[in-house]
Structure 1
Amino acid sequence: MPLWLPMGEVSKLLASVRHVTRERALDLFKYHTSTLYTLAFQAVCIEQILPVARSLKEIVPLAQEAYLGAYSGYWATSVGALIPAIEGSLTRIVSDLGTNATAPDKIDHAVNRAIETAAQLHFDRMWVPPEYKTCDYLFGQGERVFAFETFRRWLKNHFFCNTHEYDGVTWLNRHMFAHGTAASWQQPANFARMVVALATLAAIEYWYDASHSVSFFLPAMNDDRVGPKCKKARNATALAIRHQSLPVMPISASCSHINHKTRPGSSTRLHGDVADML
């Protein structure tokens, strides 16, 4: 569940991948997200969201250089630079945990507390039976809880899962990167995913400690707050894009033969794949 995007666009994206293969869905996700996670969107995330999060402000210069590198053609370097930042940010968010806490422990601790805060707000801080404040109940009731839980599943089932357990399609996995077991994570689309993942961690931090520093409303772009590195990359890429055509919807040769009947269990699989592709 991506944050800071219009629900109409998210619904359009999800509808387009409901009855297609995983490979076809990935192509469609690349198309749709390229029109949503634009250079300007990423610049706002890096320059106006990350700096206000205590767990991420230290890596803002790194993210700025990664942005400049990515749109100068160095995609692998830029994606690789941001992958370790996920774990570093998560560790700083849950600094109250012991040093022996595992990545799944940190994820659960951060997301559970964020969901607790969201549950209190959902019921306007009124007393309700405890079972109404659970993730199971609120998952289909509150957009915040849905977003946090989906992000938790992506972190645990895709980003931090063991290499032999990975079953995604983007290959954005911390262990594959760290141990060099695959190079598919270097694809350009993963850079935008990393920027959005870091910005989502900033939102998790906000709900974790109720710091009220990160809004669910995307800040209006403020050029005074956009650093020179992001401006340079944005302007150079915008000039190049001006001489290119807009992204083209990927066409599948078998589109006319798509079976629109949902296979048993496909909705569950789709939810996991969506978390990975976003």
Structure 2
Amino acid sequence: MAEASDAVRAEVESVVQWASKAEDDYVATRQSNWLRVVAELPWGQPPPARRTPTAAALGALDAAHGGHASVKSILSDRAAAAAHMERHGDGEHRLRPLLLVGPPGTGKTTLARAMAAALSRPCEVVSVPMAAVDECYLAGADRIWSGAEPGAIIRTVRRLGTARLLLVLDEIDKVGTGNWRGSSPTAWLLELLGSTTWTDRYLGVPFPTSAMSFVATANSLAPIPAPLLDRCEVVEVPGLTPASGCRWRAPTSGPG
């Protein structure tokens, strides 16, 4: 908590005072749960990652995914650039989110996981279709409600103990246009991809996300709102040929 923002400190002090004066055990427990979540989050800037040369990144991608040589070449370049920017930047710059677009079953999520391995980062997949129908899944629930908890992003950071991770926004073309109490899934994704902080409804204060990297996947560009497309660098993942498909499946195929 030493490096938490003034907003976090002020909120913690307010909650501590409220919980200490609460006559209702339920209210006190709810505030204590919030304090526990805040205390367990890694608020400080993570130390720089080790250098990832392009050749090393490409080797990690090759080890995890056969085929798609041109796509892996792009991803390895971006992985090396991300590591360089992290080591030599000011902590507030990161690469544009990547958007892998191609037919179903071409290994887009596998490629994203391979890129995380190349960056030596943990990888977490967030279901955009789930976020489109359940706002609490991504944005969290206000802590005034019974059973409230943070959304998927803050839960992931808390579980992993680090904000340096690669977040896969799976099936972003299914974001839809659902209404979230006057907002929309698209608006929240724009905040996530375009800002260096994330304000989960449960937390109620900004959490630093400048160390996160993002890869989105989609079967088609057509349904994706233009503002989201503008945030991303599009990388086309072509359909697998029979030869490349067999090579990709070989590591996980069973006997026979």
Q: Give the TM-score, by structure 2 length.
A: 0.31
Q: Give the TM-score, by structure 1 length.
A: 0.29
Higher RCO (Cα < 8 Å, 6 or more apart): 1
Choose 1 or 2 for highest CA Rg: 2
Structure richer in helix, relative to its length: 1
